[in-house]
Structure 1
Amino acid sequence: MAFDDTGEGGASAFAEVPFGTRLKLHRTRRGLTREVLGGLVGRSASWVKALETGRLGTPRLPLLLRLAQALRVRDLAELTGAGSIPVEPFSGPGHRRLPAVRAAVNAFAPPADRPAPPLPLLHSRLRGAWLARHAAPDHREVLGALLPGLITDAQAAVLGAAKECERRTARALLSEVYSLAQFFLAYQPAQNLLWRVCESAVVTAREADDPRSLGIAAWLMVQAHRDAGDWDAADAVTAGALEHLGAHLADADSDELLSLWGALQFEAGHTAARRGESGAAWHRWDTALRAVARLPDGFYHPVTSFSRAVMGAHAVTVAVELRNGGEGVRQALRAQAHTIPSRPRRARHRIEQARAHRLDGREGEALELLAQAHAAAPETIRYNGHARAMIAEGLSSREYRAQAAALADRVGVPA
């Protein structure tokens, strides 16, 4: 909720409220501790306290943007008291296909005259959508075109199922369609819709009693909680999902379930790294690495990207979240981005490598890695808050402004 800066007679009721006071009000309104907020923006609790008490002044634009994103502030004026500067241009735009996807999710029920598709056909369409998502440089454009029909048809399949076994299969497919939708909705100005889809994926997977779809939905919910700063909730979902999947690892499709179990082990490590718990973070990464070693050569999970190729990328992420730039660069040099078959995931890895180089003071190399991310998948970098913040920081550097400006023009960051 924004401050109401206008009082009776047009007087500004909050014009003189210091930045630190505004920051504290937004932080407490969201229920975040100083430690949690600091972790979300890569700083310490004492740094947040220094801002709130006025010992430090208003941070520069890149950090200010990170704070606004962590606090879900829509306009920087809510923090600074200055003229209106919407956060949206810095955090990723709304995709042109967002209204159609929103309409499909919000629909009370599929049209009465829409026949339920055969389940094998729906399954094939869903597999094709995942493949298209990994292959596309503009995966939101691709998913945005496919999702309205998939959502509507998957809902119709659940309603039209004649037998309970068919209904469970249809629900598992619907849950996975909702999970697919989260890759489209992430980092767009549609947080309420994202959470509804996230929760629908979990509920529908539970109704299907399907460990695979539940593992996928839980994997995404962990990320949603962590990105929202609720690390305890992320840990609770991870623990519950790991226990549930662990009970099914002897099933016929154990490679699939083992990969989901390994992906969740890494998510636990990612959350630990956000907390600054180095030992726990690397222990979970090691556990995930042992899981991937048990999978067949060439295995690549179509949703989580869990594979041998992605474990190097995960190591970069752990180091970056622990704010260890030197280790991040070392891991980045070891990780082979070209072996990751998914274009969006490859681009995201380049962004994580850029974060590592930026932490290590190698700003020029970081910007070059962001250019490589753009070449791999322009839509991934366009919607990534870390990438946009690094470009904004580059714009404020005399040495790297020209390099950053060229990227800003392509990515859509205001120069």
Structure 2
Amino acid sequence: MQILRQRRGMSRAVLGGLIGMSPSWVKRVENGQLHTPSLEMILRVAETLRVQNLAELTGHTMRVDLFAGPGHPRLPAVADAVNRFPIDSSGQAPSAAHLRARLSRAWAARHSAPNHRDVIGALLPGLIQDSQLAVRQADSGAERRAAQAALSEVYSLSQFFIAYQPDAALLWRVAERGIVAAQESEDPHTIGVAAWLTGQAHRDAGPHHYDAADDVILAALRHLEPLLHDVDDDVRAIAGALQFEVGYTAARRGNSGTAWRHWDAAREIARSLPEGYYHPVTSFSRAIMGAHAVTIAVELHSGTESVRQAARAEATAIPSRPRRARHRIEQARGYQLDGQPDVALATLAQAYEAAPETIRYNGYARRIVLEETEAKAPDRRRRAAELATKIGLLAA
């Protein structure tokens, strides 16, 4: 714990404050004067220090992924499609317009289906194969660039499916291929989307990847900014989404001023978009900025501010079911930070109603539910156990 704390540049007082304990408690744990803390406290420390693998904190050699959910039944088929060497060029590749229409339907299904991973997991193997074939069979430079843009977007869709599942190597393979295809496409919007997802992958890999996350996203912003005076709504939206991601990573670092400054920049871009506009990949829109404010406050570990922002943000204004569920989870984290576990649990139940697969694969939600299954209050313990059973944490 001491090594991980020092790597993050935290004093004992800061870490203690973030986990609700005194600096002397932190010192005694680090010096071995106290026995191993409870599982609830270990998880709280792991979240604060952004530990991806509990073995880093506990010293056990077994692999225990804190933020990974279960493997989806469709994961092997998607992994096979990604890993298969695309050398066979037989068969007629679909047109770029046909691929675009399939991608549009896939994104719409992702936003509207409660079990969105199941839906897009069924679509991805065919989309991966056909988009790779389209690139290989392109006859002209323009056709090849259009096919590369579609292939990059297929890899972007794949990242949404693979994220938070127990195959980090597959996620990175898809992210890297998406970036390469985006660069080959020379399309600003495609480049922005690929950078947005790659930056998230770096950030979620832990504090030692924060600089890489910033490098990718800021490079994409520098590429897009000279173009923003004469582009369509999608390109402006991806620029806004990238601005928020810089703020998100700053919040993970504990840099409040930088985090809120980039949130403000993202909000200005959102205000320039039409009232009902909603980006099909990132969900960036006017409606999403309230949810983004909750995320910033939660990542800064401010329970009071998280609850204040949660009260201002209206989740029902978010048309995407998985994104609405994600917002409910962020709200629940804020209520938990603010010492309102009953409200946190009720909010997670709302997340489950919006999109069961989102809460099933979200490490923060799983942690809160598991903690509350051991609550002293019988009613809360019962409700937590019921939700834990629904999302597969406890046997029925």
TM-score (norm 2): 0.89
Matches within 5 A, 1:48-59: 51-55=29-33, 57-59=35-37
Indicate the residue corresponding to 2:190 in structure 1. 213
Question: How far apart are 1:249 and its partner, in Å?
Answer: 1.2
Report deviation, 1:395. 1.4
For residue 156 of structure 2, what is the aligned residue in structure 1? Answer: 179
1:242 counterpart (214, 221, 236): 221
Shift in CA distance, 88/226, structure 1 to aligned 2, threshold 3 Å: closer
Structure 1 counterpart of 2:246: 268
Instruction: Identify the residue that residue 311 of structure 1 maps to in structure 2.
Output: 289
- Structure 1 counterpart of 2:333: 355
Aligned match for 2:126, one of 149, 156, 178: 149
Query: Residues of 1 paired with 2:42 and 2:77: CA distance?
Result: 32
Q: Shift of residue 412 of structure 1? A: 1.3
Equivalences for residues 327-338 of structure 1 within 5 A: 327-338=305-316
Percent identity over paired residues: 54
Deviation of 1:413 (Å): 1.6
Give the aligned residue type for 1:245: L
SS for the counterpart of 1:308 is coil
C-alpha distance in structure 1 between counterparts of 2:41 and 2:242, whole Å: 30
Work out the CA distance in 2 between the residues paired with 1:167 and 1:376.
39
Q: Which residue of 2 aligns with 1:14?
A: none
3-state secondary structure, aligned to 1:108: coil
For 1:411, the equivalent position in structure 2 comes to 391
Aligned length: 384
Is the counterpart of residue 196 in structure 1 residue 176 in structure 2?
Answer: no
Q: Distance in 2 between matches of 1:66 and 1:362?
A: 16
Q: Which amino acid aligns with 2:92?
A: P
Q: State the Cα distance separating 1:231 from its structure 2 match.
A: 1.1
Equivalents in 1 of 2:140, 2:41: separation in Å?
55
Show structure 2 runs of 5+ residues with no match.
none
1:300 to 258, 270, 278: 278
Indicate whether 1:124 and 2:104 are aligned: no
**Which residue is equivalent to 2:143?**
166
- What residue in structure 2 maps to residue 369 of structure 1? 347
In 2, Cα distance between the equivalents of 1:117 and 1:110? 17
Aligned residue type for 1:59: P
Aligned to 1:340: 318
TM-score normalised by structure 1 residue count = 0.86
Distance in 2 between residues matched to 1:207 and 1:282, nearest whole Å = 34
Aligned to 1:7: none
Is residue 105 of structure 1 aligned with residue 82 of structure 2?
yes
Cα shift at 1:362: 0.3
Work out the CA distance in 2 between the residues paired with 1:89 and 1:243.
34
1:43, distance to aligned residue in structure 2 (A)? 5.1
User: 2: CA distance between counterparts of 1:213 and 1:271?
Assistant: 22
Which letter does structure 2 place at the counterpart of 1:248?
L
Q: Summarize the Cα distance change of 1:148–1:280 in structure 2 as closer, same or farther, 3 Å threshold.
A: same
Partner-residue secondary structure (3-state), 1:309: coil
Residues 306 and 101 of structure 1, relative CA distance in 2, 3 Å threshold:
same
Matched to 2:367, the amino acid is A
Q: How far apart in 1 are the matches of 2:115 and 2:366?
A: 17
Q: Deviations over 1:50-92 (max 9, x none)?
A: 644325543322443466785443779x82659x7x7469731
Aligned partner (choices 375, 388, 391) of residue 366 of structure 2: 388
Change (3 A) 1:101 1:405: same
How far apart in 2 are the matches of 1:334 and 1:79? 39
C-alpha separation in 2, matches of 1:110 and 1:132? 30
Q: Can you list the C-alpha shifts for 1:100-120, whole angstroms capped at 9, x where unaligned?
A: 000000011064333211111
- Residues in 2 aligned to 1:239 and 1:152: alpha-carbon distance in whole angstroms: 32
- What RMSD, in angstroms, separates the aligned Cα atoms of the two structures? 2.8
Matched-pair contact (CA < 8 Å) for 2:19–2:44? no
Equivalent residues in 2 for 1:33-112 (5 A)?
Answer: 33=8, 35=10, 51-55=29-33, 57-65=35-43, 70-73=50-53, 79=58, 81=60, 87=64, 91-109=68-86, 111-112=88-89
What's the CA shift for 1:228? 1.1
Shift of residue 280, structure 1, vs aligned partner: 1.1
Matched residue, 1:139: 116
